[in-house]
Structure formats: structure tokens, C-alpha cells
Amino acid sequence: MRLRTVRPRIIIRISLFSLGPPMKPNTFTLDKRLYELLQEEGLDRFTTQDLRDAFASRLEEGSFQLKDVRRYVYEQIRRMLRVGWLVLDDERKSRGQVYHRLPMPEKLQLNFISNGFETSLTHSKTKKRTSAEAAPTSAQSRPGSEVYQRLEATLKEVRLDLLASMGEAERYKQLISDMPYLRARVESEYQEAKDQSSRLLGHLRAVEKTISALSSP
């Protein structure tokens, strides 16, 4: 009589606990006025200037400059692009780029702020005033250790920002190389990351030269 061969069975047990806890939503801070604007009909598709003008119309007349509004609005657009709430139009432009609003990503948990633009202006003015107060006058002698410490801290901060920006540009370049069909989607972000890296490199050299000049007899 021929014996039957029984193959051993491999049983794989999957524990739900090994998958880890569900991902928590990411908190996304957004200006409440900007959110209300984006919900209005006609702003599913817009340019930076469109959103700037619409946002400026909700501000107190004479309390702002358009260049500050544009800078603030553009920063919010960049943040929304990163999380996938906005996408660039297929037609890429160096000026007048069109953006399309998508449904809010499910992973986001909104945190509204009421006076984001005003707060950004206050922060900018405070930073400028602090820089002016910290600037040495001609009557002062060689700067003390506190000045060097501030410069070293600034140098470290700029260096970290530069590394992050260069890493971002490098990753975009790698993505475009591996998946050429993504070029049209991320070319603008890639160029922006490269430009940011160039600016930060200039900042880094300026701080380094300042430290060198102050160290000289």
C-alpha cells in the first residue's frame, strides 16, 4: 500500500495589535477668513492675485499694504499645496499660475485662527525692531560674546534650513528621475526648492562673513 505524503501547512497569524493604532489626523492651522473665502462659489479655481484681492476686501481699509497681503496669501497657498488641498493647473505659468481647490483631505483637522494676517504683520514688525535695536552703533567697541552667540545661533538656524531645502530639491529631482510623468506636477515646486536653497546659501555666506569680520582685529 502506498503511503500518502502530507505536506506541512504554514499558518500565518496576523494580529490587529501589530498594525499599530490608527493614524491621528494632522492639525492644520488656517485663517478663518481665508477658509470662508474658499467656500464661496467662484473660488474653486483662482490665482494668487484673485485670492489676494478677495482677502484684502475683508480687511479694514488703510490698515494694510497689498504686498503684505500677497505674501501672506501666497504662504497659505503653499501650505495647502503641500497637504494636497490645492493642485496646480495643468498649464504652468511663471506669473498668474492657476490653482484648483480639491475637497479637504480627510487626514486634516482644521484649527481656525481669526487674525492670522494681523498677527503675521505684528510678528514681522517686532522682528525688524528687535534687529534694529540689536545693531551696534559706531560708538560701540568690539561686540561682546552675546553678539557672537546670536550670530552663531543664526548661522545654525540658516544651515539647518539650507539642508532641509536642499534635501527637498534633491528629493523632487529623484522623483522626477524615477517617475518622469510627475515632472509636470512637481516641476514648479522643484524649481522653488532650488531657488530657496540658493537664497539660503546666500544668507549662510553673509552670516559667516559677518562672524569673520567681527573676529578680525
Q: Residue 12 — very low, low, confident or very high, per pLDDT cuts 50/70/90?
A: very low
Percent of the chain with pLDDT over 70: 77
Task: Name the one residue in this structure whose C-alpha cell is 482644521.
Answer: 110
Q: What is the largest CA-CA distance in the chain?
A: 110
Helix axis angle, 66-82 relative to 48-56, nearest 10°? Answer: 120
Asked if pLDDT for residue 84 goes beyond 80, the answer is yes
Predicted local distance difference test score (pLDDT) of residue 35: 92
Asked if pLDDT for residue 10 goes beyond 80, the answer is no
Least confident of 118-122, 184-188, 192-196: 118-122
CATH architecture of the domain covering 25-117: Orthogonal Bundle (1.10)
Predicted local distance difference test score (pLDDT) of residue 18: 41
Distance CA 132, CA 111 (A): 34
**Which is nearest to 35 in space by CA: 93, 91, 116?**
116
Q: pLDDT tens, 126-164?
A: 555 555 555 554 435 455 678 888 888 888 888 888 888
